[in-house]
Amino acid sequence: MASPKLLTVFDFVDLFAGVGGFHAALSRVGGRAVQASEIDKRPASVYASNWGLRPDGDVRELAADPSRLVRDHAVLTGGFPCQPFSKSGRQLGIEEDRGTLFHDILTILEAKTPPVVMLENVRNIAGPRQREAWAGVVAGLRNAGYRVPSAPCVFSPHLLSPADGGAAQVRERVYILGVHVGRERALMETNVAPVVENVPQNNWDPRDWRVSEHVLLPDPPGEQRQRYVVDGPEIDFIDTWNELLARLGPEVKLPGFPLWEPVWRARRPVLRGLPPWKQAFVRSNHDFYLANRGEIDAWRRAPRKIPISQFPLSRRKLEWQAQDGERDLWQHLLHMRPSGIRVKQATWTPALVAMNQIPIYGPARRRLTPLETARLQGFDPATFNFGGQADSLSYKQMGNAVNVGAAAYVFRRFVEANVRDIEAYGPRGEEIVAAVMGQSPLAVEGAA
């Protein structure tokens, strides 16, 4: 009979679990999920099929009686709803109903007092419009006995190498980590720094990312590939902008500001009523038009299937971020955004969002598949599955997911920086340190 596998494990509870970003991250460093919570049945189903643990529903029900309903654990995780703080929302912060879910986290922390808490949210939670909300998050955790820094820990997975669990995606998120030291110390010990700086780690150069190598999987077979190819009007939009780049020629330097065709005109542009940032863009576009008027007017007059004036407004704008790369949109990574067509070199991708704006890999003339977006979020495409659901749901879930590699890296660095206080908590703290630091293996059979 084989001897039990030697593992050091710590138990964690996974709130706002989604499809399991925190589950995958903490499993990498010795964590074992003993309970999860996810109110949306669709990601909860994906979570259950991948991790063998069926999430409970509404976290508010758990917070109503946490002593009885929440299992004991060493780490509490939660990617709590970002919509109250997101730039794409109304940015109402804690005032919005979903923002009050943070208070349910505090209720659970105060009842169960795990040694460590790790939360994740959009960068904007610590932005200028959310100062009161951020101060409330910090104060709430300190009053619950957790030592946390005043400054946010902002980090993106593209700053990590593949060996460190990085991913070819710019995805800056705020990671909120605290160790339980008691309310008195937490309120006094405020001069602590975030455990990770938002800079490349371990001598990694993010310019070494390649979408072709680090993101793409083999093309889907046959007709399945057709679901992701670029066709119809989108080809016309891209080819039309390519035509302008060809007319301008290599001697015309493409500007860093977005090109806005709707405002290109010979007469002085109308600026009245526009915010300052928009006035600056309009002025810059006016100057660019006057400097290249002949080529632009010829481009506009050229016959085509869909006149430029009939393009959707967002497709009459181009954001060239490919620097000195080849002046062919099809050779780059394309992002069809509400603000325009963004073009960048195919190193890393923009942040995945829940609004189904899936990057297009130009050389293959197709969008990334759901499994490729899962790879961007650090899930193993060889084992992770979406259970046959609609692609639109899978894309949305990846846009909402916690990045596995970034979360695991930040957690590990936090434990390394707080070994003494985590161990001082007692057995549950010692299990965290032993698992992450590789000390004192504990015989556990069948650990997740």
Residues identified as active-site = 82
Alpha helical stretches, state H, 154-219: 183-188, 211-214
Using a 10 angstrom Cβ sphere, with 0-12 exposed, 13-18 middle and 19 or more buried, the burial of residue 438 is exposed
CA 193 to the chain's CA centroid: 22
Alpha helical stretches, state H, 171-232: 183-188, 211-214, 222-225
Question: What's the maximum distance between 2 C-alpha atoms anywhere in the chain?
Answer: 86
Cβ partners under 8 Å of residue 5, min gap 6: 444, 445, 447
Q: How far apart are CA 136 and CA 121, in angstroms?
A: 14
Q: Checking DSSP bridges between strand 259-260 and strand 317-321, what pairing results, if any? A: antiparallel
Cβ partners under 8 Å of residue 186, min gap 6: 141, 142, 143, 144, 145, 146, 147, 148, 178
Cβ partners under 8 Å of residue 297, min gap 6: none
Phi, then psi, of 37 in degrees rounded to 5 = -140, 130
Nearest partner of 285 among 301, 265, 299, judged by Cα: 265
